[in-house]
Amino acid sequence: MSKKYTHQALVDAVASDMNSRAASIEFKVPASTIRQHRRESTLNIRAGRSSYLNSNEESHFVSLLQLLPEYGFDVTKTLALQLAAEYFESLEFTTQPGSKWLNSFVKRHSDDIIWKKQEKLERARAEAFTEQNRSGWFKTLKDVLIKHDLFDKTNQIFNADESGFSDKTKGQWVIVNSSCRHAFESNGGTGKDYRTALICIAAGGQVLPP
């Protein structure tokens, strides 16, 4: 059905006693648009495209986009659009959400979700390694060694560190919670991996299994 219809036709369709399907046929207005305006009375009735989701529906979708990263899913543009399309279909909307809609959606809810480019673990750590952090770490180490009398007990001093190994994958833009400071790369099954290993070595030379 064409998206062009008169303002009066929309008003009459929404106000009619017909169900949305019958009103759609009678007034030449998409059934999904009629249902949208009947469900959310605060929407402005105007000709052309409606606002799609009401406030409750938008909040529900925001919650989904916030939840997925907590379970290890990278919410890329492709995945977000796929989820949006399925959500629209479940609401019986005939409109297919696109990139423009998704970008506007994220912008509207920037207090809750944002776009962030994935980065490798080593880069984030390097940026956080300031002179203040370095001097503070050595001061803490010295205090611990003195407190426990460990200066001449090398086999009792262990250092553990996490190192990353990459095949130079390129980070993607993903949707994350607005409070997220870093979005790290994960293996997406493309044949390009990023692996981390926790290595622990004693000052005396012993190496624990990684």
Identify the band that residue 62 occupies on the pLDDT scale cut at 50, 70 and 90.
very high
Give pLDDT, residue 87: 93
Identify the band that residue 201 occupies on the pLDDT scale cut at 50, 70 and 90.
very high
Angstrom CA distances, 159 to 62, 122, 134, 172, stand at: 41, 18, 15, 33
Give pLDDT, residue 129: 67
**Statement: residue 46 has pLDDT above 80:** no
Mean pLDDT of 172-194: 72
- The answer to pTM > 0.75 is no
Q: Is pLDDT larger for residue 177 or for residue 121?
A: 177
Give pLDDT, residue 114: 94
Identify the band that residue 32 occupies on the pLDDT scale cut at 50, 70 and 90.
confident
